[in-house]
Amino acid sequence: MLLRYRVGAVVSLAKHQNGGAKTVLWTSKNFRTQSGVPHGHFAGDATFLQAVDFYFDKAAAIASVSPDILAQIKACNNILRVQFPLKCSNGTVELIEAYRAQHSHHRLPVKGGVRMAPNVNGEEIMALAALMTFKCAVVDVPFGGAKGGIKIDPTKYSLNEKEAIMRRYTSELVKKKFIGPAIDVPAPDYGTGPQEMAWIKDTYEHMKSTDINGAACVTGKPLEEGGIHGRHEATGLGVFFCLREFLNDQDLVKKLHMSPGVKGKTFIIQGFGNVGRNLVDCIQRAGGLIMAISEKDGGLVDETGKGLDVSSIKEYHTRKGTLCGFPGANTIRDPAKILELPCDVLIPAALESQVHSENASRIKAQIIAEAANGPVTPSAEAILEKNGAVILPDLLLNAGGVTVSYFEWLKNLNHIHFGRMSRRMEESGKKVLLEALEQEFESKNKLSDDLRKELVKGNTEIDFVWSGLEETMLVSWANVRSTAERKDCNYRTAAYLIAIERIATCYRVNGIFP
């Protein structure tokens, strides 16, 4: 049985009218009886929330943490459900349903994306918020976990309608104190991007005009609105850093009867959104072969054995809005079939529960790298591991997005971009050093202008961001790997264990538990 979800009394449990909007703080019982069917859910598989609970319990069983602290760590502290009217462009009025869950306040602010999807429900949002709590703890980013969702299909609404929805959603969060630089900081997720984050920022700053740190109320913003260089590539790059480290580890790949390195390995990518599009570039630059890419309406399979032409596919996808029909590759209309094709590495980069009990036995990949949140159900994980596959868990692998969101939040609080105070000083120091070396050794072959420029170049914001991201991912991967070896468990359990013990330490140090 699932642990009870303790719901904090932030607003009244009774439904009430508030400026045309209904606000409800739901209990987990409401969600169990009224939530929709999760993505990819099959009879016998856990729901997404049940899966997160299952993975948590598996790690909790070997943690040196008392049951009372474990219950607190597992509980979802607050869940807000709002409904508000939208006047559509055709003159009709539609009721919009939206959520914001705050899973853990052991560190503030809480952090998590806002998604737009037609099957958003409270249980899914609580699961994603819990995952964010543990994800931040694994990579040692000082946030609690949160998540938001708006139950619409964004492709069915005009730009003006989406703006109205996002602004009203933000105003509801402001009124209920579910957003703020020190309280709760949203970010992009499935179906949202920089434009939606700009609308959130603008709405918040209009309602909280005296908050000097207002720009830090949301991350993933456009650069012009206080965003940060490298945020767009962050999640895909973080996945690549961890995957590269695994594949470069001779001891680990030897167990799979593989040679070390990314070069020459075959990859299948499910999902060609922000994460997938940036990830394929990293893999291809490292010499990996992209053998198939799938989207919700179908996908492409390489027929040459040399890998897909990623740059041409990206241009085609941008122009056509679909992968299907791309010349030079075989189009498969059933995207689920692409998951089952032979490859070295399968990367689910779309939605949760894509690998489940019904298709897990047909997965041929030796490595499953979870770029999406919760793409493998517990029953599927058992089947895959029985067949000798290794799963690199979402809890670590896709934490690059929240890591760079943390950097953006710091940038906004400091009111200055990284490198502004140091870049020219670094360049001046390097020039002095180069000139001194040339004079000392009386070099007859002076450095070329291009080489000199490269050697003396100071660090820009993106240099700081990518360096910080790589450091975070590599240190975190090393911790997960060593924990898995020490506890004789898989990487997912190791990641959850690290998160649980770090959160428990936070509670103990703060004096909340003895």
The secondary element (H helix, E strand) that includes residue 500 is helix 491-509
Output DSSP code: residue 116.
Answer: E
Give the span between the Cα atoms of 103 and 124, in whole angstroms. Answer: 12
Give the span between the Cα atoms of 355 and 301, in whole angstroms. Answer: 19
CB count, 10 Å around CB of 90? Answer: 8
Looking up tokens 């000083």, which residue turns up?
A: 425
The secondary element (H helix, E strand) that includes residue 266 is strand 266-270
Question: What string of DSSP letters covers 27-86?
Answer: -HHHHHHH--PPTT--TTSPPHHHHHHHHHHHHHTTSS--HHHHHHHHS--EEEEEEEEE
Give the span between the Cα atoms of 206 and 199, in whole angstroms. Answer: 11
Give the span between the Cα atoms of 387 and 159, in whole angstroms. Answer: 47
For residue 180, what are the contacts with CB-CB under 8 A and spacing of at least 6?
A: 109, 174, 204, 208, 211, 217
- Collapsing DSSP to helix, strand or coil, 10 comes out as coil
> How far is the CA of 420 from the CAs of 232, 414, 429, 431, 462, in angstroms?
21, 12, 16, 18, 12
Give the span between the Cα atoms of 401 and 473, in whole angstroms. Answer: 11
For residue 289, what are the β-bridge partners?
A: 266
Name the region of 325 (left: φ>0; alpha: ψ -120 to 50; beta: rest): left
Tell me: cis bond preceding 181? Omega within 30 of 0 counts: no
Tokens of 374: 């919760």
Give the span between the Cα atoms of 37 and 49, in whole angstroms. Answer: 12
Give the span between the Cα atoms of 187 and 196, in whole angstroms. Answer: 9
Short-list 479, 476, 481, 502, CA closest to 491: 481
CB count, 10 Å around CB of 89? Answer: 11
Give the span between the Cα atoms of 85 and 434, in whole angstroms. Answer: 65
- Ordered strands of the 330-332 beta sheet: 330-332, 298-301, 289-295, 266-270, 345-348, 367-369, 390-392
Tokens of 89: 């462009």
Residues labelled as active-site residues: 147
